[in-house]
A = this chain, B = another copy of it.
Amino acid sequence: MSQRQIPEASVARLPLYLRALIDRAEAGVESMSSGELAAAAGVNSAKIRKDLSYLGSYGTRGVGYDVEYLIAQISRELGLTQDWSTVLVGAGNLGQALANYGGFADRGFRIAAILDADPAKVGMTVAGVEVFHQDQAERIIREEDVAIAILAVPGDAAQEVADRLVEAGVTSILNFAPAVIQVPEGVSLRKVDLSIELQILAYYEQRRLVSDDLANGAVRRHLDGLPD
């Protein structure tokens, strides 16, 4: 199988495999089995094989996968053989941290400009990138051929900013703002919500506490010789 429409869940894992592969390649590893890759990526091996089968038959039976070759195939599939221009919108705390985060540039995502609504921030340089006023969005997106925007604005500004970005030609948005935003059909949207992740953890944390209590209760009953 070599032709298309990779399941979304599978696409979302490919970058993980890619990172594991690059990591092992740098350590000099030339070949990996699905089991080794699974361990490095934190998933199980059946999933690895199934996911990779959507890309094609790039493994060798009885042997495994050639690391460099697989890196090339996944990179191509993910569209990482080209560089992408992005704009980062929002030069506050989070925006600045994102600008300083090296992981974007490493993977071919160039921040062409940082945009902010606050005139006081305009002209600053963050991680070597100039901050422009949001009014310049249309021009910069056009001139720099920006397809992807990273949104790090306050929640209540997010929808409005997203609308303008889409209007200006952006077709993918990575939203860090703590707000639900709507985008038109045909525009991709992913969100990263810092506090939501913590809240999910709190749920499981609480369950752990509750079941500990129950277990303690059970132990106590047992020690007391009472029926369960």
Residues of A near any B CB (own CB < 8 A): 6, 11-12, 14-16, 18-20, 40-42, 77-80, 82, 84, 86, 93-94, 96-98, 100-101, 103-104, 106-109, 147-148, 150, 171-172, 174, 178, 180-182, 186, 188, 190, 192-209
Contacts and interface: CB of A to CB of B under 8 A. Distances in A.
A62 to B, nearest CB: 26
Contacts of A104: 194-195, 198
Contacts of A78: 199-200, 202-203, 206
Contact of A172 (B15, B148, B195, B201): B201
Number of copies: 2
A202 B79 contact: yes
A2 B180 CA distance: 28
Nearest to A180: B42
Nearest to A40: B180
Given A42-B182, A94-B97, A11 B203 contact: yes
A180 B40 CA distance: 7
Contact of A204 (B107, B150, B172, B197): B172
Contacts of A209: 79
Contact of A200 (B178, B190, B194): B190
Contact of A101 (B93, B180, B186, B206): B93
A84 B209 CA distance: 12
Given A79-B203, A84-B205, A186-B208, 8 more contacts: A11-B200, A15-B193, A79-B207, A79-B209, A103-B195, A171-B208, A188-B205, A190-B201
A141 to B, nearest CB: 14
Given A78-B206, A180-B40, A206-B79, A15 B195 contact: yes
A40 to B, nearest CB: 7
Contacts of A11: 200, 203-204
Contacts of A96: 93, 97
A209 B172 CA distance: 12
A10 to B, nearest CB: 10
